[in-house]
Structure 1
């Protein structure tokens, strides 16, 4: 499966869900959507997520103290609850949807020589 097709597959899965989320998020500064982890740290639980809307990357700072840490790796498909935090897009929560959904994503992104257009 080619890189472009995989991203388009993500977008196709998310289009209808995002419309519902965007409509309900009009009064809330947070929203939920799917994304693919492109970087993670096992030690801290932090992760960077490429979201289905192809906008800014989302930063996850790990589970708050007292909550169980979600272990994710590059290529995992996750559902994130996003919130705007000034100039940085942050994940309020992160939930595993499908581990190993796109394991070669980091290498594919490193090898790109031009921008990836939204589907």
Structure 2
């Protein structure tokens, strides 16, 4: 299945990446130079990539990855972290049950 996503973490030394996928489900994992169409291409956090997605157990593995648009979403990782650290809106219950006896 062909998919698009945004690189949210990348290790140039190991050719590993974590990719936020367009369907907002499991994150994509790229592992090693064989995951990339051209492992010598410069990749950066925020790049939009196209790839083949394969489920292996509960992992979404990305293969044949290629950069479609560089630096299209460089703030996405920070926005995701900020959203994950946002406290709950209210700790006050919206529904209160009570019993009544006549």
TM-score range, shorter chain: 0.7 to 0.9
**Separation in structure 2 between the aligned mates of residue 71 and residue 80 of structure 1, nearest angstrom:** 16
Q: CA deviation at 1:71?
A: 3.1
Give the drift of 1:107. Answer: 1.1
Normalising by structure 1, we get a TM-score of 0.64
Q: Which has the higher helix share?
A: 1
Partner residue in 2 for 1:37: 7
Task: Write out per-residue CA displacement over residues 28-75 of structure 1, whole angstroms, 9 at most, x where no aligned residue.
Answer: xxx11110111000111110011101110010013229x741432110
Structure 2: which 5+ residue stretches go unaligned?
88-102
CA distance in 2, matches of 1:59, 1:71: 18
| Larger mean Cα displacement after TM superposition, 51-60 or 102-111 | 102-111
The answer to whether the 8 A contact 2:6-2:19 is kept is yes
Task: Identify, as 1 or 2, the structure richer in strand.
Answer: 2
| TM-align CA RMSD | 1.8
CA shift for structure 1 position 105: 1.2
Q: How many pairs align?
A: 83
Deviation of residue 102 (structure 1)?
0.5
In the alignment, is residue 49 of structure 1 matched against residue 41 of structure 2?
no
Match of 1:92 among 63, 69, 74: 63
Alignment pair present for 1:101 and 2:72:
yes
Higher Cα radius of gyration? 2
TM-score by length of 2: 0.74
Q: Which 5+ residue runs of structure 1 have no aligned equivalent? A: 1-30, 115-119
